[in-house]
């Protein structure tokens, strides 16, 4: 197994390296403290896990996420963060990250390895702010498609019943329902109970939302324009 | 000797000139008969109409009918004129008319016919002046008979205007001047209009302002209308061409009126209704008129209607715009007024019998008016751009101000909470405090910092997200304390004015409650509920329900712990919570739980 992590704080780097070596005794562990060096390495060798700190001295870790994701679609990419502030996390997911780890949870080998495996299985637990931000962003991205869909639905209304398909990259009704519950503070398990599905189904929904957001990142510019209230 | 010869020659010439018939010869009367075929095969006898004054319009006398007009005109020509023609080596006399059509043929003194468009399927010989040559060898001294047969299409402005016979070259030159003048004017206004139209459409594309789109469409109609001046044999049947042409004019006028209404920016429902009726009914009636080949619906209904509507809109426009002391606007208003005046003048002249074939004054007015519209458009665009820049500047100022206030608040927070706690932590480290104390204290500092970060997160006024975030942060601690949490949070209405400060108050209150539960209450189960409802007192007074926006968000946290004896009712904690609730404009109640424990109720009004 190959694991690479990027963090600019020497103390943190030392701790993470130590904990990772404990948690994954057979892994080959590489670390970088700058974005530039990591970017060069990212293009060369495929890793199983990338753990990336966003605030690096020579740029944003989001660029690294994007590059790794483009080159190696199957690599597992996690953001390591202290606060999990929504904007940074949502932008990382959009760039192709699979989830995030709180630095606090990385201090013990036991919790770190289980977190990494848990994320690989079922996706990161989404904080309520991130869930609500994801929902808002996806709905903004969907707006044109939804309008088009509505129009075509109306056109077809007289001829035949509307097909129940959602827009190509839009959220499915169940995914929206889940994000709404998460944004109101319900845990995955509680949400699964309320939606009368298995926990695994909820985790699948979350993964799907991640993928849809990353696919939609091309329309990021449009989203930003709309968020700023610019209409052309 | 030579001198005398030249003198007598000159004298003879002078005398000849003096005696020769004066040119041009004006003909404004003709013997007229018409043939109207009742069916395709029948040979119909001509109907005699006797002597008629020129100009003579077919549509006024035989609307909706096809037919042939046979004009016979007496042309008295003196011998001197014939001699003169020969002496000058001229081929004949030019004869011109401002209007002669649709298709025609002519001959003099029963000689060979000259055909002009006679066998063309579609003709557009309506608006242009015509010039033909009468060959000298066909002319005779005394009475000459000029016969002109004109095939009239219905609704094609067929007829014959006055005829002038003149010197071959002089009259041709005059005719060409007239033609060039009319075509030149049409070309100029058409080009200008096309430019303005394109500009308007480009501006519309950028700004999506309806007024630009309508201007663009109006100008497009105008450009198409000008095509009429350049097409003698259109590729479509004459009546279709005429229908399209009249529609283009009608819609040009209607759309420009609409633009003026939009530019005035004062509501006038009656005028809007009038415009709607105009724009919706014009096309069907014009199409019906064209299909029935009846030109009157255009001439008698839509030209007057367009001019009257134009007069109303433009007078209103002039009146409103004149008050704005802006040069461009005033010029625009003035030209709009002039356009209507010229149009009304044309209306009077076109309806008078002598107006047939004359160039319209309106064409000049349109040239200037379209130019003014273009100017106005550019001016509006600039002023809009300037406004936009100003708004952007002002909003960026506001953003800067808000950023500054927010920065000050954050500095304060960092100083009060995190800063002082870090200093305390440092002193603990220095005094070699036990490992657990250090760990607890460090976690607390981290939590403080997290709360500060959470308060900054933009939650779009969604209080549920604020509550949920609190849970997200506290859940590990609750788990560690073995407290199970029952979460019942409804979707809450947006709270537009929720500031980071408000969020912080709510966070602090909840943190206080949960800390108490974890540390003192000895609870195993906590129920957290939040929902939105109308205040109790709203139900008994109907007025208050009317302003039903005064809704309340109720948050309650009840535990099954040791109850009121726990620390929450003691010391600074409760007073702190109360004062924060007050700052929120909320009410806070701490009561004994059912059957045991404590319940905290927080009611936050939405405002």
List the single residue in B with minimal CA-CA distance to A87: B457
Closest CA to B233 of B103, B100, B133, B58: B103
pLDDT band at B348 (very low <50, low <70, confident <90, very high): confident
Question: Are residue A101 and residue A173 in the same domain, yes or no?
Answer: no
Identify the pLDDT of residue A29. Answer: 92
Spans of chain A, pLDDT less than 70: 122-123, 141-169, 215-232
Could you tell me the CATH number of the domain that includes residue A65? Answer: 3.40.50.2300
pTM of the prediction?
Answer: 0.51
Q: Which of A122, A152, A176 is the last residue of a domain?
A: A122
Cross-chain residue pair A184–B472, CB shorter than 8 Å: no
As given in the structure block, the two tokens for residue B155 are 């609704």
Question: Are residue A113 and residue A221 in the same domain, yes or no?
Answer: no
Residue with tokens 């020769």: B20
- Give me the mean pLDDT over the B66-83 stretch: 89
Identify the pLDDT of residue B72. Answer: 93
Q: With contact defined as beta carbons under 8 Å apart, do B532 and B553 qualify?
A: yes
Q: With contact defined as beta carbons under 8 Å apart, do B531 and B490 qualify?
A: yes
Q: Which residues in chain A have Cβ-Cβ distances shorter than 8 Å to B446? A: 104
Give the 3-state secondary structure of B330-397.
Answer: HHHHHHHHHHHHHHHHHHHHHHCHHHCCCCCCHHHHHHHHHHHHHHHHHHHHHHHHHHHHHHHHHHHH
Its ipTM equals: 0.77
Cross-chain residue pair B454–A104, CB shorter than 8 Å: no
Min distance B37 CA to chain A CA atoms (Å): 51
Cross-chain residue pair A129–B464, CB shorter than 8 Å: no
Four-point Cα dihedral A163, A164, A165, A166, nearest 10 = 130
Question: Are residue A101 and residue A6 in the same domain, yes or no?
Answer: yes
Residue A73 domain flag: yes
B6 vs B234: which has the higher pLDDT: B234
Question: Are residue A137 and residue A64 in the same domain, yes or no?
Answer: no
Identify the pLDDT of residue B566. Answer: 54
Q: Is the dihedral of CA B426, B428, B429, B430 positive or negative?
A: positive
Question: Are residue A148 and residue A118 in the same domain, yes or no?
Answer: no
pLDDT tens digit sequence for B178-233: 888 888 888 888 999 999 999 999 988 887 888 889 999 999 999 998 888 788 77
Cross-chain residue pair A185–B464, CB shorter than 8 Å: yes
Closest CA to A126 of B568, B172, B382, B469: B469
As given in the structure block, the two tokens for residue B552 are 């309340």
Closest CA to A67 of A41, A98, A39, A89: A39
Q: Can you tell me whether residue B531 is helix, strand or coil?
A: strand
Q: Which residues in chain B have Cβ-Cβ distances shorter than 8 Å to A182? A: 468
Residue A149 domain flag: yes
pLDDT tens digit sequence for B422-473: 888 888 888 888 888 888 888 888 878 887 788 777 777 888 888 888 888 8
- Give me the mean pLDDT over the B524-532 stretch: 91
Question: Are residue A102 and residue A57 in the same domain, yes or no?
Answer: yes
- Tell me how many residue pairs between chain A and chain B have CB atoms under 8 A apart: 57
Min distance A232 CA to chain B CA atoms (Å): 7
B101 vs A26: which has the higher pLDDT: A26
Q: How far apart are CA B101 and CA B160, in angstroms?
A: 7
Q: Can you tell me whether residue A174 is helix, strand or coil?
A: helix
Q: Which of A89, A104, A184, A228 to mutate to test the interface with B (most CBs of B within 10 A)?
A: A184
Residue A136, phi then psi, degrees to nearest 5: -60, -45
Residue A178 domain flag: yes
Q: Which residues in chain B have Cβ-Cβ distances shorter than 8 Å to A136? A: 460
Domain residue ranges of chain B, discontinuous segments joined by +? 20-37+46-175, 180-383, 384-456, 459-607
B139 vs A214: which has the higher pLDDT: B139
Cross-chain residue pair A183–B469, CB shorter than 8 Å: no
pLDDT tens digit sequence for B152-175: 887 777 888 889 998 888 899 999
Q: How far apart are CA A136 and CA B460, in angstroms?
A: 10
Closest CA to B135 of B175, B178, B73, B82: B82
CATH label, B20-37+46-175, candidates 2.102.10.10, 3.20.20.70, 1.20.1250.20, 2.60.120.260: 2.60.120.260
Q: Which of A102, A133, A185, A194 to mutate to test the interface with B (most CBs of B within 10 A)?
A: A185
Residue A232 domain flag: no
Computed over every residue of chain B, the mean pLDDT equals 82
Q: Which run of H or E residues covers position B77?
A: strand B67-77
CATH architecture of B459-607: 2-Layer Sandwich (3.30)
Q: With contact defined as beta carbons under 8 Å apart, do A29 and A3 qualify?
A: yes
Question: Are residue A172 and residue A207 in the same domain, yes or no?
Answer: yes
pLDDT of residue B543 exceeding 70, the answer is no
Q: Which residues in chain B have Cβ-Cβ distances shorter than 8 Å to A180? A: 491
Q: Which residues in chain B have Cβ-Cβ distances shorter than 8 Å to A185? A: 464, 467-472, 487, 489
DSSP B565: G
Identify the pLDDT of residue B255. Answer: 92
B63: left (phi over 0), alpha (psi -120 to 50) or beta: beta
- Give me the mean pLDDT over the B2-8 stretch: 58
Q: E-assigned strands of B190-309?
A: none
pLDDT band at B147 (very low <50, low <70, confident <90, very high): very high
Q: Which of A122, A141, A171 is the last residue of a domain?
A: A122
Helix, strand, coil share of chain B (percent; to 5): 60, 20, 20
Give the 3-state secondary structure of B539-562.
Answer: HHCHHHHHCCCCCEEEEEEEECCC
Residue/partner pairs of B168-175 with CB below 8 Å, 24 or more apart: B168/B90, B168/B91, B168/B92, B168/B93, B168/B94, B168/B133, B169/B90, B169/B94, B170/B23, B170/B94, B171/B24, B171/B93, B171/B94, B171/B95, B171/B96, B171/B131, B172/B94, B172/B131, B174/B96, B175/B94, B175/B96, B175/B129, B175/B130, B175/B131
**What percent of chain B shows pLDDT beyond 90?**
14
Cross-chain residue pair B469–A129, CB shorter than 8 Å: yes
Which domain range does residue A144 map to? Answer: 128-227
Q: Which residues in chain B have Cβ-Cβ distances shorter than 8 Å to A178? A: none
Asked if omega into B102 is within 30° of 0 (cis), the reply is: yes
Cross-chain residue pair A186–B487, CB shorter than 8 Å: yes
Report the number of distinct structural domains present in chain A. 2
Identify the pLDDT of residue A197. Answer: 93
Q: Which residues in chain B have Cβ-Cβ distances shorter than 8 Å to A86? A: 457-458
List the single residue in A with minimal CA-CA distance to B459: A129
Q: With contact defined as beta carbons under 8 Å apart, do B471 and B559 qualify?
A: no
Identify the pLDDT of residue B208. Answer: 81
Q: Which residues in chain B have Cβ-Cβ distances shorter than 8 Å to A135? A: none
Q: Which run of H or E residues covers position A128?
A: helix A128-157
As given in the structure block, the two tokens for residue B543 are 């007025």
Sheet holding B525-533, edge to edge: B484-489, B525-533, B552-559, B598-605, B587-592
Question: Are residue A18 and residue A114 in the same domain, yes or no?
Answer: yes
Cross-chain residue pair B459–A185, CB shorter than 8 Å: no
- Give me the mean pLDDT over the B49-73 stretch: 87
Angle between helices B168-207 and B362-413 (to 10 degrees): 20
Q: How far apart are the first and last CA of chain A?
A: 50
Min distance A6 CA to chain B CA atoms (Å): 22
pLDDT of residue B585 exceeding 50, the answer is yes
Question: Are residue A218 and residue A140 in the same domain, yes or no?
Answer: yes
Identify the pLDDT of residue B363. Answer: 76
Q: How far apart are CA B198 and CA B191, in angstroms?
A: 11
Q: Which of A107, A122, A137 is the last residue of a domain?
A: A122
Identify the pLDDT of residue B277. Answer: 93
DSSP B127: S
Cross-chain residue pair A127–B469, CB shorter than 8 Å: yes
Q: How far apart are CA A192 and CA A196, in angstroms?
A: 6
pLDDT of residue B25 exceeding 60, the answer is yes
Q: How far apart are CA B166 and CA B174, in angstroms?
A: 10
Cross-chain residue pair B469–A185, CB shorter than 8 Å: yes
Q: Alpha-carbon Rg of chain A, whole angstroms?
A: 19
Q: How far apart are CA A29 and CA A222, in angstroms?
A: 39
pLDDT band at B83 (very low <50, low <70, confident <90, very high): confident
Min distance A86 CA to chain B CA atoms (Å): 7
Closest CA to B502 of B461, B464, B469, B468: B461
pLDDT of residue B571 exceeding 70, the answer is no
- CATH fold of B180-383 reads Rhopdopsin 7-helix transmembrane proteins (1.20.1070)
Identify the pLDDT of residue B538. Answer: 45
């Amino acid at each position: 197994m190959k694991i690479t992590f990027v963090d600019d704080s020497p103390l943190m780097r030392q701790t993470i390296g130590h904990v990772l070596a404990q948690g994954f005794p057979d892994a080959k562990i590489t670390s970088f403290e700058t974005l530039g060096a990591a970017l060069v390495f990212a293009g060369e060798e495929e890793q199983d896990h990338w753990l990336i700190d966003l605030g690096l001295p020579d740029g944003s870790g989001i660029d690294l996420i994007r590059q790794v994701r483009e080159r190696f679609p199957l690599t597992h990419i996690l953001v390591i963060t202290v606060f999990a502030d929504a904007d940074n996390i949502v932008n990382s997911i959009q760039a192709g990250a699979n989830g995030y780890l709180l630095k606090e949870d990385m201090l013990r080998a036991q919790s770190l390895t289980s977190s990494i495996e848990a994320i690989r299985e079922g996706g990161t637990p989404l904080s309520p702010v991130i869930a609500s931000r994801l929902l808002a962003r996806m709905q903004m991205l969907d707006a044109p498609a939804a309008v088009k869909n509505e129009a075509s639905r109306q056109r077809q209304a007289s001829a035949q019943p509307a097909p129940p398909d959602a827009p190509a990259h839009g959220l499915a009704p169940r995914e929206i329902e889940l994000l709404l519950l998460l944004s109101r503070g319900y845990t995955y398990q509680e949400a699964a109970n309320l939606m009368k599905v298995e926990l695994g189904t909820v985790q699948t929904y979350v993964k799907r939302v991640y993928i849809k957001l990353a696919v939609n990142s091309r329309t990021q510019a449009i989203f930003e324009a709309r968020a700023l209230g610019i209409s052309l | 000797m030579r001198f005398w010869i030249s003198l007598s020659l000159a004298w003879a010439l002078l005398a000849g000139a003096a005696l020769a018939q004066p040119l041009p010869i004006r003909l404004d009367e003709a013997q007229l008969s018409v043939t109207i075929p009742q069916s395709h095969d029948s040979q119909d006898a001509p109907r005699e109409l006797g002597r008629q004054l020129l100009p003579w319009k077919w549509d006024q006398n035989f609307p909706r009918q096809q037919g042939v007009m046979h004009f016979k005109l007496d042309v008295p020509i003196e011998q001197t004129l014939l001699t003169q023609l020969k002496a000058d080596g001229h081929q004949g006399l030019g004869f011109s008319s401002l209007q002669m059509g649709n298709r025609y043929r002519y001959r003099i003194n029963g000689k060979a016919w000259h055909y002009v468009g006679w066998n063309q399927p579609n003709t557009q010989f309506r608006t242009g002046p015509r010039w033909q040559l009468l060959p000298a060898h066909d002319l005779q001294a005394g009475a000459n008979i000029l016969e002109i047969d004109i095939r009239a299409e219905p609704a094609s402005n067929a007829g014959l205007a006055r005829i002038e016979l003149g010197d071959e070259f002089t009259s041709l030159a005059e005719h060409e001047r007239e033609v060039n003048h009319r075509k030149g004017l049409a070309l100029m206004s058409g080009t200008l209009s096309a430019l303005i139209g394109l500009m308007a459409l480009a501006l519309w594309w950028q700004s999506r302002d309806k007024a630009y789109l309508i201007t663009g469409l109006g100008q497009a109609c105008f450009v198409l209308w000008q095509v009429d001046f350049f097409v003698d044999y259109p590729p479509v049947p004459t009546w279709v061409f005429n229908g399209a042409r009249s529609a283009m004019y009608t819609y040009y006028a209607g759309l420009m009126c609409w633009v003026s209404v939009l530019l005035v920016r004062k509501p006038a429902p009656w005028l809007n209704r009038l415009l709607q009726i105009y724009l919706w009914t014009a096309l069907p009636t014009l199409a019906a008129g064209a299909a029935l080949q009846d030109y009157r619906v255009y001439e008698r209904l839509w030209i007057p209607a367009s001019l009257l509507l134009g007069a109303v809109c433009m007078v209103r426009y002039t009146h409103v715009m004149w008050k704005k002391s802006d040069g461009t606007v005033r010029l625009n208003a003035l030209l709009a007024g002039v356009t209507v005046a010229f149009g009304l003048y044309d209306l009077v002249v076109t309806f008078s019998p002598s107006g047939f074939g004359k160039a319209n004054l309106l064409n000049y007015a349109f040239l200037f008016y379209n130019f003014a519209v273009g100017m106005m458009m550019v001016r509006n665009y600039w002023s809009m751009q300037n406004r936009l820049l100003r708004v952007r500047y002002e909003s960026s100022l506001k953003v800067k101000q808000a950023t500054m206030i927010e920065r000050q608040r954050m500095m304060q927070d960092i100083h009060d909470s995190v800063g002082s706690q870090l200093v305390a932590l440092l002193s603990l480290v220095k005094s070699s405090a036990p490992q657990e104390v250090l760990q607890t204290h460090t976690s607390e500092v981290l939590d403080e910092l997290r709360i500060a970060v959470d308060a900054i997160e933009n939650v779009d006024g969604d209080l549920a997200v604020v509550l949920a975030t609190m849970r997200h942060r506290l859940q590990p601690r609750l788990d560690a304390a073995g407290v199970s949490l029952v979460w019942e949070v409804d979707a809450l209405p947006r709270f537009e004015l929720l500031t980071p400060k408000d969020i912080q108050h709510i966070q602090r209150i909840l943190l206080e409650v949960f800390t108490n539960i974890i540390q003192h209450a000895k609870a195993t189960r906590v129920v957290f509920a939040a929902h939105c409802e109308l205040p109790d007192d709203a139900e008994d007074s109907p007025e208050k329900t009317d302003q039903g926006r005064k809704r309340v968000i109720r948050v309650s946290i009840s535990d099954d712990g040791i109850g009121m004896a726990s620390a929450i009712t003691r010391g600074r904690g409760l007073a702190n919570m109360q004062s924060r609730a007050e700052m929120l404009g909320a009410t806070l109640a701490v009561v004994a739980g059912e059957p045991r424990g404590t319940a905290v109720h927080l009611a936050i009004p939405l405002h």
